[in-house]
Amino acid sequence: MQIFRAIFLLFVLHSAALVAAQGSSSLANKTISWKTLSGNAPLVIARGGFSGIFPDSSSAAYSLALMSSLSNAILWCDVQLTKDGAGICFPQVKLENATDISSVFKNKDKTYLVNGVSMQGWFSVDYTLNDLSNVFLTQGIFSRTNKFDGNLFNVLTVDDVALQFKPPGLWLNVQHDAFFTQHNLSMRSFVLSAFRRVIIDYVSSPEVGFLKSITARLKGSRTKLVFRFLGQDETEPSTNQTYGSLLKNLTFVKTFASGILVPKSYIWPVDARLYLQPQTSLVLDAHKEGLEIFASDFANDMPFSYNYSYDPVSEYLSFIDNGNFAVDGLLSDFPITPSEAIDCFSHISKNDSGQANPLVISHNGASGVYPGCTDLAYNQAISDGADVLDCPVQMTQDGIPFCLGSINLIDGTTVAQSSFSLRSIVIPEIQGVPGIFSFNLTWKEIQSLSPAISNPFTDYTLYRNPASKNSGTFVTLADFLALSKTAGTVSGVLISIENAAYLAEKQGLSITDAVLDTLSKADYNLSAKKIMIQSTNSSVLMKFKEKTNYELVYMVDETIRDAENSTIEDIKQFASSVSINKASIFPENLAFLTGITSVVPKLHSFKLNVYVQLFSNEFVSQAWDFFSDPTVEINTFVMGAEIDGIITDFPGTATAYRKNRCLKLGDNIPSYMNPVQPGGLMQVITPQYLPPAEAPYPVLTEDDVAEAPLPPISKTSPNSNTGGSAAAPTSPSQQPRITACVFLSTLTTLLAFLLLF
């Protein structure tokens, strides 16, 4: 039964997790000379397999790692010894965090000293390999999905991993030798006997004594010994020196090891606020000594320095492609990402324009990096290479159109902390909760506020660039157009218009006239740039259709599973492009993709461009299927769904994607640059762990699209007419709709209380 399940699982993984997974091609070696010790491409080392998604050291984790990584990827096994001296692969000396042992052997926990520290739990030394045959691996890191815990993944021995997976390279890490010695078990005997049975490429340990004890026996073999550094202040048990002081004598390390493995902060230190400090000279020092150097602690779903803007590829590149040095290997829980970084993203010239598709459209400028719609956010989007800069237009009380992500100043400014906080009001036509609205303040008053960075993921304690959270200045539509016009790489602007009917009727403000007027004064149509007008309300686009020939973009503000042909024909009347949210293409349930809709091919068959929002780098914004890697997500939407444009808070990640050299490989594209199979991971979930089925999303109908024409501008003074609390209730078609937020809130429920940081 179990065997059948395991075979089925491997079959599913093979056929489903990645389309046409052929991790064969490796461009990296052929074209590039690396600043590694050997001059070859850095290695990818998969810690416990693909432990970022499947239980650490499980068969699924090891197979997925091999399927999704460079063809020479190395499987990492943390070796622990059982009571009968068998070597198993398991991340910790205690078993209960990532197995179900505490329920199999109830109340059998023990307390032992481990390197002088008293620890309580279920230790491998108390169980024989046979005892462990009834124990199954589970997800031990609580911010990761536990949905695969029903798969009865067996504990694997070192021999199992070597023989079942035949990895291109096997790395044994012996974290504890002294502890097992205290229990009369010999790691040395185990490693030396395993060495005779299977091919072991690397053995690492943070214990000098252990490495010294095997170095003579392994001399002349292909097995390399690597000294693992722990925290600089921790004491190495056999020399009684701190790792920090051992680091000062690499000549000594070279006497018993051919390489070192260090936490990434040894190479790129971060300060207490998680900002990068200047790189150390450690990689150069190690190479000078003839030591290989490997960096550890890479995971896409753990906080890393803000300097990388939540883009894990850019973090890897700083270790392998920084002009000065390259580490010899990267130890990662998500081996697909360093594989991409090494083979597809390294050594790309800044000049490389990459492929043209998809269009990269900013969302409130580079709002993942700076407060949205500020000069800083726009300049960042320009230097990131965005094609289209966006301005969501809002109106001030004195009729000035300016750019801000929301009509409610509480989002995007410090108004709530200002004296204007008294101007809070409920306007049901706009939103159900109180707000302080842009049309209630003059431009001068708004300029007295500070911008505030958007922080959509505070529930997971993920913040954006805190050092710049209130920096930059607000930008009028006129300034925005001037800025875009002079930016050589920017090919167009996308101007979003919402709440036009309310502003006209209740505030006497014509946002559409203000936009047209500003555009004509800016003489924008004479520059060679494209002007896109986006709205969720067809009446706004109709107004622009009458007056201009701009590219009109209809934004669908609900998640849909399909659209009627007649509806699309209606949309064709006033738009040439449509923007939809991610879940309208890849529906998901509890952050697992459930499949793919035909919305994109359908819109394409009517010759409409399809732009997709909203892409963010933070891993919690992505379905599990994308491996917490924003590049895998983008790639799947581009190659798997053939979208025409990406609307993103982090344009730099999308433009870097377009430049990656693996896109040119056609049929030879490596597995890590293939789109994921939507619904593939869901198939690996056992029935009792499956999320309950959800009602399908609605179909977009003509009623959703049809709107009354924009009302005339009221002559009433806004001052006498702002109180919205008595306004008539909205008609059924205007009820709040399911939006992209639903996607994020399901993740919220799943993860919010689990995140350990």
Ligand X SMILES: *[C@@H]1O[C@H](CO)[C@@H](O)[C@H](O)[C@H]1NC(C)=O
Span of 173-181, 190-198, 706-714, 744-752 interacting with ligand X by CB under 6 A: 706-714
709 part of the interface to ligand X, by CB under 6 A: yes
Nearer to ligand X, 322 or 357 (CB): 322
Distance of closest approach, residue 667 Cβ to ligand X, in angstroms: 19
**Angstrom distance (rounded) from CA 616 to CA 621:** 6
Give helix 538-547 / helix 500-507 axis angle, nearest 10°.
90
H or E segment to which residue 191 belongs:
helix 187-197
- When asked if residue 520 is in the footprint of ligand X (CB under 6 A), the reply is yes
Binding mask 597-636 for ligand X (x = CB under 6 A): --------x-------------------------------
Is the CB of 278 or the CB of 323 nearer to ligand X?
278
Question: Does 722 help bind ligand X (rule: CB under 6 A)?
Answer: yes
Told to check if 92 binds ligand X by CB under 6 A, we report yes
Residue 644 CA to residue 692 CA, distance in Å, equals: 33
Whether cis (ω within 30° of 0) applies to the bond prior to 614 is: yes
**What is the chain's Cα-based Rg?**
29
Stretch that binds ligand X, among 148-156, 629-637, 697-705, 710-718 (CB under 6 A): 710-718
* Binding residue (CB under 6 A) for ligand X from 17, 70, 331, 553: 70
Structure tokens given for 223? 């097995």
As given in the structure block, the two tokens for residue 162 are: 């070597």
Alpha-carbon gap, residue 406 to 577, rounded angstroms: 22
Neighbours of 15 (CB within 10 A): 13
State which residue, 12 or 119, has the beta carbon closest to ligand X: 119
Q: Which range, of 573-581, 610-618, 630-638, 714-722, touches ligand X by CB under 6 A?
A: 714-722
* Beta-strand relationship, 202-205 and 224-228: parallel
Question: Which of 225, 286, 395, 710 touches ligand X (CB under 6 A)?
Answer: 710
Closest distance between ligand X and the C-beta of residue 56, in Å? 10
- Tokens representing 138 are 């589970």
Choice from 501, 533, 591, 682 touching ligand X (CB under 6 A): 501
Q: How far is CA 251 from CA 221, 256, 263, 410, 743, in A?
A: 22, 10, 20, 59, 53
Per-residue x/- mask for ligand X, residues 367 to 406, rule CB under 6 A?
Answer: ------------------------------x---------
Q: CB neighbours of 348 closer than 8 A, spacing ≥ 6? A: 656, 659, 660, 661
358: preceding bond cis by omega (within 30 degrees)? yes
Compute the C-alpha angle 493/497/501, nearest 5°: 160
SS3 44: strand
Interatomic CA distance for residues 368 and 117, integer angstroms: 42
Q: How many CB atoms lie within 10 A of CB 219?
A: 9
# of chain residues touching ligand X (CB under 6 A): 44
Q: Residue 559 CB: number of other CB atoms within 10 A? A: 23
> Could you give the string, one character per residue 282-321, with x where binding to ligand X holds by CB under 6 A and - elsewhere?
-------------------------x--------------
Report the SS3 class of residue 181.
helix
Does the protein bind ligand X through residue 349 (CB under 6 A)?
Answer: yes
User: How far is Cα 431 from Cα 699, in angstroms, rounded to an integer?
Assistant: 24
Q: How far is the CB of 40 from ligand X (least distance, A)?
A: 4
Smaller CB distance to ligand X: residue 110 or 217? 110
Question: Which of 240, 419, 458, 688 is in the footprint of ligand X by CB under 6 A?
Answer: 240
Point out which span in 90-98, 187-195, 447-455, 676-684 binds ligand X (CB under 6 A).
90-98
Selected from 15, 189, 255, 417, the binder of ligand X by CB under 6 A is: 255
Query: Could you give the C-alpha distances from 669 to 64, 159, 352, 626, in angstroms and in order?
Result: 17, 32, 19, 18
Q: Quickly tell me which residue has 């450690």 as its tokens.
A: 282
User: Is residue 113 a contact residue for ligand X (CB under 6 A)?
Assistant: no
β-pair partners for 205:
227
Instruction: Work out whether 489 is an interface residue with ligand X (CB under 6 A).
Output: no
By CB under 6 A, tell whether 40 contacts ligand X.
yes
Q: Taking contact as CB under 6 A, which single stretch among the options 58-66, 295-303, 711-719, 743-751 is the one that binds ligand X?
A: 711-719
CA separation for the pair 547, 549 (Å, rounded): 7
Least distance CB 412 / ligand X (angstroms): 18
Q: Which residue is nearest to ligand X (CB)?
A: 539
- Name which position in 425, 639, 665, 755 contacts ligand X (CB under 6 A): 425
- What gap in Å lies between CA 274 and CA 629, rounded to an integer? 20
| CA–CA gap between residue 264 and residue 261 (Å, rounded) | 9
Helix (H) or strand (E) holding 504, with range, is helix 500-507
Does 97 contact ligand X by CB under 6 A? yes
Q: Give the x/- contact pattern for ligand X in 548-577, rule: CB under 6 A.
A: -----------------x------------
Q: What is the DSSP string of 249-313?
A: -HHHHHTT-SEEEEEGGGTS-B-TTSPBPPP-SHHHHHHHTT-EEEEEEE-TTS---GGGTT-HH
Per-residue interface string for the shown chain with ligand X, residues 172-201, x marking contact by CB under 6 A: -----------xx-----------------
The residue range among 244-252, 294-302, 477-485, 636-644 that interacts with ligand X, by the rule CB under 6 A, is 244-252
Which stretch in 173-181, 274-282, 372-380, 454-462 sits in contact with ligand X by CB under 6 A?
274-282
Amino acid at 340: E
As measured in angstroms, the least distance from the Cβ of 240 to ligand X is: 4
Cβ proximity to ligand X: between 410 and 685 the closer is 410
Q: Which residues bind ligand X (CB under 6 A)?
A: 26, 28-29, 40-41, 70, 72, 92, 94, 97, 183-184, 240, 249, 251-252, 255, 275-276, 278, 307, 349, 351, 397, 423, 425, 440, 467, 501, 520, 525, 537, 539, 565, 605, 707-711, 718-719, 722, 734
